Amino acid sequence: MNEQTALKTDAKPAVKTLPDAQTVTAVRHWTGDLFSFRVTRPQSLRFRSGEFVMIGLLKDDGKPLLRAYSIASPSWDDELEFYSIKVQDGPLTSRLQHIQPGDQIILRPKPVGTLVLDALLPGKRLWLFATGTGIAPFASLIRDPETYERYDEIILTHTCREVAALDYGRELVEETLNHEFIGEEARAKLRYFPTTTREESPQMGRITDLLRSGEVFEKLGIPPINAETDRGMVCGSLAFNMEIKEILEGYGLREGANSEPAEYVVEKAFVG
């Protein structure tokens, strides 16, 4: 019996994998409603920071159940990171919240989205406005060296109902500021403005109200938004996105897209 035949005979039956399967490498639960997880990255997957992909699990009938998810990790990371809500009766997240390292998920490797640096005209100051899990695409962008090459100042605002819901963002910013490669740039340029609306914290209030009152500019010690210098990216609920759009357009900023860059871009953090 030659060696090849021996190998064939001894080979274990192939493990049944999902279509476009990736393996979960880490899971962290931040609150009862929020968790993050990391998965292996397909070798061929290239994406621009801020883009989203479709991920999911197989349903009982064997068909894939997929949802849009922003990639929260930077494009230089060997793995992919996601930051997720847990909707208790949500078709996907009622199950996805139970994944463990070693489990497989489906990942369709076709990244798309408008929250990308190329959809904005050059500027000096970049505002990243997030509520809830809307911080996910910005978790990628604030770890991308290109963001720091393009802007003198990056302001990340994150509004959540409760203090604990800010933890993912707070830790992300701390890690970015201390990062071996991008830490120096981030310390010089990244500003973080977390706010809560339903639990006491050092900065209370919806960011929309704080922009209208001018409190955010006062607190950061900067002049108000100016269409010549300021660029914006917005990711939250539909109602939030609509309000921020109105505010930014009031300052003279125009909505951009991949095909036609302008002064701000928007993406929904979820549908509904």
Q: Is 153 in the site for ligand NAP (CB under 6 A)?
A: no
> Closer CB to ligand FAD, residue 30 or residue 270?
270
Is 31 exposed, middle or buried (CB count within 10 Å of its CB: 0-12, 13-18, 19+)?
Answer: middle
Cα(52)–Cα(182) distance, integer angstroms: 23
Parallel, antiparallel or unpaired: strands 64-70 and 190-196: unpaired
- Any residues with CB less than 8 A from the CB of 168 and at least 6 apart, and which? 30, 34, 36, 83, 135, 139
Q: H-helix or E-strand containing 209?
A: helix 207-213
Binding mask 89-118 for ligand FAD (x = CB under 6 A): -xxxxx------------------------
Q: From the list ligand NAP, ligand FAD, none, pick the one residue 206 interacts with, judged by a Cβ distance below 5 to 8 Å according to partner type.
A: ligand NAP
Is residue 267 involved in binding ligand NAP (CB under 6 A)? no
The CB-of-38 to ligand FAD minimum distance in angstroms stands at 13
Q: Which of residues 175-204 bind ligand NAP (CB under 6 A)?
A: 197-198
- Per-residue x/- mask for ligand FAD, residues 124 to 163, rule CB under 6 A? --------xx--x---------------------------
20 contacts ligand NAP (rule: CB under 6 A): no
Q: According to the binding rule CB under 6 A, does residue 83 interact with ligand FAD? A: yes
DSSP label of 262: B
Residue among 74 and 132 whose Cβ is closer to ligand NAP: 132
Residue with smaller CB distance to ligand FAD, 148 or 168: 168
Q: Cβ contacts of residue 96 below 8 Å, gap of 6+?
A: 56, 57, 84, 86, 105
Q: Which of 139, 114, 117, 155 is nearest to 268 (CA)?
A: 114
CA distance 151 to 230: 10
Q: Does 202 bind ligand FAD (CB under 6 A)?
A: no
**d(Cα 61, Cα 70) in Å, to the nearest integer?**
26
Query: Rule CB under 6 A: is residue 267 a binding residue for ligand FAD?
Result: yes
Single-letter code of the amino acid located at 108: R
Quick check: 52 binds ligand FAD (CB under 6 A)? yes
Residues in contact with ligand FAD by CB under 6 A are 52, 67-70, 82-85, 87, 90-94, 132-133, 136, 267-272
Residues in contact with ligand NAP by CB under 6 A are 33, 131-132, 159-161, 197-198, 206, 208, 237, 239-240, 243
